[in-house]
Amino acid sequence: MKILGICSSPRMEGNTFYYLKTALSEAEKLGAETELIQLSGKKISGCRTCYECVNAKKCTQEDDFQEIFEKITRADGLLLASPVYHSCITPEMKCVLDRAGFSGRWAKNEMKETKSSYEWKGSALSGKIVAPVTVARRAGQNFAFAEILLWAAANDCIIVGNTYWNVGVAGKGGAYNANEDQEGIGIMTRLAGNMVDVIKKLNAEVNYEQA
């Protein structure tokens, strides 16, 4: 059971990192293999709308995206964590989501000239268990959270719920103070449990069918 956490703060080991690490540490205690990638310092451009992935079956832009996409495809679960910037996810996260979603789709499908809708054969992201995590000083969580949810919902992923939205409240004046947010820490801990449960249940079903 592999869970990959992607942290899109431009600063290393900030608040978003703290919440994500909390969730991943808990997931490890519950038996998952985990990895946390910080996008800070990585070179990942936005989608350039070249459509080369349609025929190449992969994103043809050579930068640090390739390594991250490889890890995404190998993970069962994805925790996508972003600070809130003007009520949105950060550009770093947007670049990854756009390129993974688009090239992931064409990895499994042909572009057809037809009047009927596409007969989609899934995506490289099909069946990934996904949950957003957003972190704000005060406001704008809903929109940023929804950006990640909407991406997952249109990329054949399975979204994990919680008893509250997976949000952290920290960072007034740039403070590194996520460790003071007891409620947020509790939310991340429960999120990890829910993600591990969903992965286990899905695997149990597959094993049953094979038996």
Ligand X SMILES: Cc1cc2nc3c(=O)[nH]c(=O)nc-3n(C[C@H](O)[C@H](O)[C@H](O)COP(=O)(O)O)c2cc1C
Please give the residue ranges that form the binding site for ligand X (CB under 6 A).
9, 11, 14-17, 83-87, 135-140, 170-171
Q: Shortest gap between Cβ of 16 and ligand X (angstroms)?
A: 3
Distances (CA, A) of 49 to 52, 59, 183: 8, 10, 41
Closest to ligand X by CB, 46 vs 85, is 85
Q: Shortest gap between Cβ of 158 and ligand X (angstroms)?
A: 26
Closest to ligand X by CB, 10 vs 193, is 10
Instruction: Tell me the DSSP string of 36-61.
Output: EEE-TT---PPP----HHHHHSS---
Q: Shortest gap between Cβ of 123 and ligand X (angstroms)?
A: 28
Q: What is the largest CA-CA distance in the chain?
A: 56
Q: Shortest gap between Cβ of 210 and ligand X (angstroms)?
A: 42
Nearest residue to ligand X by CB is: 171
Residues β-bridged to residue 6: 37, 80
Q: Which two tokens stand for residue 69?
A: 């996409």
Instruction: Tell me the DSSP string of 74-95.
Output: H-SEEEEEEE-BTTB--HHHHH
Closest to ligand X by CB, 85 vs 165, is 85
Closest to ligand X by CB, 112 vs 138, is 138
H-helix or E-strand spanning residue 32: none
Q: Shortest gap between Cβ of 165 and ligand X (angstroms)?
A: 14
Closest to ligand X by CB, 30 vs 176, is 176
DSSP conformational letter for 112: -
